[in-house]
Amino acid sequence: MKLLALLFQASRGRFVFAVLCGLLSGACGAGLVALINQVLSRQLPSGTAQLGLFGGLVLVALVSRILAQVFVSQINQDALFEMRLKTSERIVAAPLRQLEESGAHRLLAALTEDLFHLSNAMAMLPRLVINASTVLGCLVYMVWLSEVLLLALVLCLALGIATYRLSTSRALRDYRTAREEQDELIRHFRGLTDGIKELKLHSRRKDDFLARVVATTAERVRHLQKRAATAFAIGSSWGMFLFFAVIGVLLFLLPRLAPVSDAAMVGYTLAVLYLQQPLMGLMEGMPMISRGQVSFIKLQELGLSLEASSESVHGRASLESRPRFSRLELAGVTHSYRREHDDKTFTLGPIDLVLQPGELLFLVGGNGSGKTTLAKLLTGLYVPQHGQVLLDGRPVTTQELEQYRQHFSAVFSDFHLFDRLLGVGSDFSQVRPYLERLQLEHKVRLEGDAFSTTELSQGQRKRLALVAAFLEDRPIYLFDEWAADQDPSFKEVFYRELLPELKRRGKAVVVISHDDRYFDVADRLLHLESGRLLPEGTSPVRRVAS
């Protein structure tokens, strides 16, 4: 089983020790059955020695069971911790274009749905190990007791396992199909939260979305999971029936076919009754284990697909030093992709662009002209399909993307605002002056390295993201329609004060903007039209002299 292999890989020594403790617990359980059988059949007197042996077996069984559960549970949590971190690291390391094409709903399903079911399944594994060891111990005792009875028991168990697997094989397929449907359901949930305003404003759209989109997919998931749960319930009940069938065979049928001693008969009956709980525990835990198995495979597939194209990271120690540059150049860079709801391929480029420290560049153009795509190419979030990005005359390779990106601090139009200052050191003395300058001091305060709140308007959130960007103190700044949600007074501060201040500090600044009243601030105006960067002399927007 892959989940057990995952535990074994997480800590071989502790896993082997836990298994040995489980085997010892199972052996003690079998010993207790044997001792009870011998006392009941008068083969041993119920004296002090037998009482001491009984107490010793109970104590060892208890201690070994506890140790097995504790160690497997600890390994379980360690394995889950590693799985969560590896999945997160693979997502971060994957190319942005691949993540965008995969869809955020699939990533969310992996980080929530799959890890949840994997956690539940692995929580069952301690019981699985102990129950399996108990069954093994009892079977060893049965071999010693009577080979004839063991043969009858094994035949019944083989029949039970075969019929159980037959009844649950369809359930496993249903779980796999339901897991695929979960991706779609989470995508619809994202549509529900992201489009809540549009749904509230249009009753028919809301009703249609809930009834035809969400309910339809949720119904498919419900149907598949109900059918799988029913199959497992039938299999579990069938297993309970088999216990009594085995006892009936042992008591009423087998004595007619072969001579069996009364002591062996009592011992086998006790053993079968003793096995009922661990075997039922195994069967009742199978639905959870099966869902965990499906989720684990899904996480592995996601990890392999992301890892296959992950961006190599080298020289992490060099990232600690402050990056510098004297010239950044895009030479013949192109990037093609399919737009959403459009079968045609959009090509950006070829783009030729030079950026130097202390330069303030405005990038303008209509919607869909490729401005944000160019920004992602410039910052290293997208890799050019053709052409090169050169930093100080040297081509930026895939292995150097991580270091290259450290030159940039950006606030994109679809930015995410973290609730704490991350990766900017421990000197937060400039935070309050920036908050006051952007009129946020009455809304937000810094508590340690965390903002007191991020529940702000979109414009205020952008101002707070700007504070975080300034603290990063990178050599190149990029702002994608930052002023679009700002009041006129804050636009004035941004264009007339903050941008020139960054330029005086020697920063290269790229601003994507439609605010033509502030174009005089720029050193250069670049116009992008249908994926092509127009020559500055032919741009519909006038060039501003440096």
pLDDT value at 272 more than 80? no
pLDDT at 537 over 60: no
pLDDT at 519: 93
Tell me which amino acid residue 440 is: L
Identify the H or E element spanning 332.
strand 328-338
Hunting for tokens 């421990």 — which residue is that? Answer: 426
- The residue with greater pLDDT, 347 or 133, is 347
Buried b (16+ CB within 10 A) or exposed e, 280-307: ebbbbbbbbbbbbbbbbebbeebbeebe
477 pLDDT above the threshold of 80: yes
Across the chain, how many H-helices and E-strands are there? 18, 12
Q: For 336-353, what is the HEC assignment?
A: EEECCCCCCEEEEEEEEE
DSSP per residue, 145-178: H-HHHHHHHHHHHHHHHHHHHHHHHHHHHHHHHH
Q: Residue 317's pLDDT band (boundaries 50, 70, 90)? A: very low
If phi > 0 it is left, if psi is from -120 to 50 it is alpha, else beta; for residue 543 that is beta
387 close to 350: Cβ distance less than 8 angstroms:
yes
- Most confident range (mean pLDDT) of 135-144, 290-299, 454-463, 500-509 is 500-509
CATH topology classification for 2-308: ABC transporter transmembrane region fold (1.20.1560)
Pick the range with the lowest mean pLDDT from 36-40, 244-248, 537-541.
537-541
Q: How confident is the model at residue 343 (pLDDT cuts 50, 70, 90)?
A: low
Average pLDDT of 231-249? Answer: 74
Share of the chain above pLDDT 90, in %: 21
Q: What percentage of residues in the chain have a pLDDT greater than 70?
A: 85
Q: For residue 358, what pLDDT is reported?
A: 94
**Least confident residue range of 1-10, 260-269, 369-378, 385-394:** 1-10
Lowest mean pLDDT among 180-184, 328-332, 357-361, 382-386: 180-184
Provide the pLDDT for residue 279.
74
Residue 523 backbone zone (phi > 0: left; psi -120 to 50: alpha; other: beta): alpha
Strands 450-451 and 394-395: unpaired
Q: Indicate the domain borders of the chain.
A: 2-308, 325-538
* Cis peptide bond N-terminal to 350, omega within 30: yes
Q: How confident is the model at residue 360 (pLDDT cuts 50, 70, 90)?
A: very high
Q: Which two tokens stand for residue 384?
A: 């050019």
Say yes or no to pLDDT of 501 above 90: yes
**Residues 444-463, mean pLDDT to the nearest whole number:** 89
Residue 390 has pLDDT above 60, yes or no: yes
pLDDT-derived band at 90, boundaries 50, 70, 90 = confident
Say how far apart CA 74 and CA 7 lie, in whole Å: 10
Q: Half-sphere exposure (CA, 13 Å, Cβ side) for 435?
A: 14
Residue type, 397: T
Same CATH fold, 325-538 and 2-308? no
DSSP state of 382: S
pLDDT at 546: 34
Residue 444 φ/ψ region, left for φ over 0, alpha for ψ in the -120 to 50 degree band, beta for the rest = beta
pLDDT tens-digit map of 300-313 = 777 655 555 556 54
Just give the CATH number of 325-538: 3.40.50.300
Encoded tokens for 417: 């605002």
Q: What are the pLDDT digits (tens) for 512-535? A: 998 999 999 999 999 999 889 887
pLDDT for residue 305:
58
Packing angle of the helix pair 48-93, 12-40 (nearest 10 deg)? 150
The distance of Cα 70 from the centroid of its chain, to the nearest Å, equals 26
pLDDT tens digits for 3-15? Answer: 666 666 767 788 7
**What value does the mean pLDDT of the chain take?**
80
**What pTM did the predictor assign?**
0.68
Regarding beta strands 508-512 and 360-365, do their DSSP bridges make them parallel or antiparallel, or are they unpaired?
A: parallel
What pLDDT shows up at residue 319?
Answer: 43
Helices (H), 346-456: 371-378, 401-405, 431-437
